[in-house]
Structure 1
Amino acid sequence: MELWYTEKQTDHFGITAKIKQTLVEEQTDFQHLAIIDTVEFGRMLVLDGMVMTTIKDEFVYHEMVAHPVLHTHPNPKHVLVVGGGDGGVIREVLKHPEVEKAVLVEIDGKVIEYSKKYLPEIAGELNNPRVEVIVNDGYMHIHENKNTYDVIMVDSTEPVGPAVQLFEKGFYQGIYDALKEDGIFVAQTDNPWFKGDLIQKVNQDVKEIFPIVKVYQANIPTYPSGLWTFTMGSKTVDPLNIDENNIPELPTKYYTPRLHKAVFALPRFVEDLVNPK
């Protein structure tokens, strides 16, 4: 008998993958968690019925959260990752030798525990001495640590369950206050095919707080529609003013110095969302 997992991405559309086995399934204190082994994409982390990451395509998301912002900031020594308990963003952050300390604040300790066990390729740097792992509410951590971080990365699920408050204007104001005077933040902001209204709202909220706001994109096949956006808010530095010739080559699979500016070139229908006429 064949077993298939289907993520219902909208009321009328979904993606499906053939399953080898279910490695873990648990209702945590915050969400339903499963790790399944699929034929096409390998081991897959699923939270509340949504694909968070897979062994095959995880590098795209994790690289694109970390590297554009870290190559924009002039000297990112102290970095915060909100969410991201699978450890993939932390792994990419640590490729930057100038980062002295990376703090991960994940509300659900079970995500960390099971990622270490079943997704070691992704979570392998969570025990690095440059990393501090805190199991707590990222929203509260932001508001309790003012003027602390050079870069803040929000690696959240979609705005459901415990992640709802991570898409609110008050959270972005808290991020602004938690950043130093030249600080930059980035957040994943979903896809323009199904969540255009979300992208538009986040962009408007962030523009009311940060003087420089840019949206960029990447292709992630297991995420809804495959086209994914990220929103960067900066206090002083424009990512488009960075000289790509000064960006060092890192061991990446998606991000390159030549891609740094290119990802900010948006299709017109996405441009219309972030810069409505």
Structure 2
Amino acid sequence: MQFFSPERIEKTKALARNDKPFIFDDGDIRTLHFNEHVVQSAMRLSAPDELVLMYTQMMSRFLALHPAPQHILLIGLGGGSLVKYCYRQLPAVRMTVLESNADVIALRDRFMIPPDDARLQVLHVDAVQYLAQMTAASADVILLDGFDADGAPQALRSRNFVSDCKRVLRKQGVLVANMGDDNMNIVGLLVQGRAVFSAPHVWWFRTIRDNSHIAVAVHADDDAIADTALHGTALRIGADAELEFIYPKNPLTD
């Protein structure tokens, strides 16, 4: 949740129309909104490929677990922060973006998202249906950042959807999910993630500055030595990024 001055709230409120996405410029920063209270995405006009929001910086840390992905599946386009970052930083990677809101896609040029080409494809589809229809494991990384005007859709934290995420990931593939700060979304994703991926392969981080919560899961077989190495990598990610490493606490009891 973002907190703004009364003056900014009034300015953005004047732009809000029927839960449609809109853009607000404040100096060098361009933001995407559905309402006057929450920033969906942020871009620095002078450095459009920079990751401005803390949670996007955290999500980019998947490279510590999978440094050379061939195919990244992104769920939720927003202002394209992660798309642009991956497109520039990983010139050999292929990316497929799933976005259900045509109005969000229509703003892609305003956020300087590259046009579709051999490496990048933005699809106007429902991610739940799209993953359910995929027949082969083809993704090395899934970046889940799907939010709408009402927050995180319940369908994106269901057991079936999390199972489909694991099914379309290749072995050692990584799922990184932005859980925001909504307790229902956090508990739902973590409970289903621990059940589907198995608890040793799921970690929970919190960005201290803005209270965003990130889940990371790896499609790995149970192996004590490998699990210890993965856990060590997760600890290093948290330490390097100055994140609170919450795993292995159970969100239902702790």
What secondary structure is seen at the aligned counterpart in 2 of 1:175?
A: helix
Distance 1:175 1:107, change over 3 A: same
How far apart, CA to CA, are the structure 2 residues paired with 1:133 and 1:213? Answer: 28
1:73-124: CA deviation from partner (whole Å, max 9, x where unpaired): 253111100112321111122244374201111111221222422x33xx3x
Is the 8 Å Cα contact of residues 20 and 103 (structure 2) preserved in structure 1? no
Distance 1:140 1:16, change over 3 A: farther
How far apart, CA to CA, are the structure 1 residues paired with 2:149 and 2:155? Answer: 8
Is the 8 Å Cα contact of residues 102 and 130 (structure 1) preserved in structure 2? yes
How far apart, CA to CA, are the structure 2 residues paired with 1:169 and 1:181? Answer: 19
1:45 aligns with 2:29: no
1:195-236: CA deviation from partner (whole Å, max 9, x where unpaired): 33432232111100003000112256xxxxx21111011112
Structure 2 partner of 1:5: none
How far apart, CA to CA, are the structure 2 residues paired with 1:134 and 1:85? Answer: 13
Structure 1 partner of 2:216: 232
Structure 1 vs Structure 2 CA RMSD: 3.5
How far apart, CA to CA, are the structure 1 residues paired with 2:42 and 2:185? Answer: 24
Is the 8 Å Cα contact of residues 158 and 190 (structure 1) preserved in structure 2? no
The equivalent position to 2:101 in structure 1, one of 98, 108, 111, is 108
- TM-score w.r.t. the length of structure 1 is 0.70
Structure 1 unaligned residues grouped into runs of 5+: 1-8, 221-225, 246-255
Distance 1:98 1:53, change over 3 A: closer
Distance 1:37 1:171, change over 3 A: same
One-letter amino acid of the structure 2 residue matched with residue 265 of structure 1: F
1:165 aligns with 2:145: no
Distance 1:126 1:102, change over 3 A: same
Structure 2 partner of 1:147: 137
More helix by share: 2
Structure 2 partner of 1:210: 197
The equivalent position to 1:86 in structure 2, one of 76, 79, 83, is 79
How far apart, CA to CA, are the structure 2 residues paired with 1:173 and 1:59? Answer: 28
What secondary structure is seen at the aligned counterpart in 2 of 1:189?
A: strand
1:54 aligns with 2:42: yes
Alignment of 1:198-277 (within 5 A): 198-211=185-198, 212-219=201-208, 226-236=210-220, 239-242=230-233, 259=240, 262-263=242-243, 265-266=245-246, 272-274=249-251, 276=253
1:115-162: CA deviation from partner (whole Å, max 9, x where unpaired): 422x33xx3x35464211111111111112231211111111169378
> What is the number of equivalent residue pairs in this alignment?
235
Structure 2 unaligned residues grouped into runs of 5+: 45-50, 221-225
How far apart, CA to CA, are the structure 1 residues paired with 2:115 and 2:15? Answer: 20
More strand by share: 1
Identity %: 16
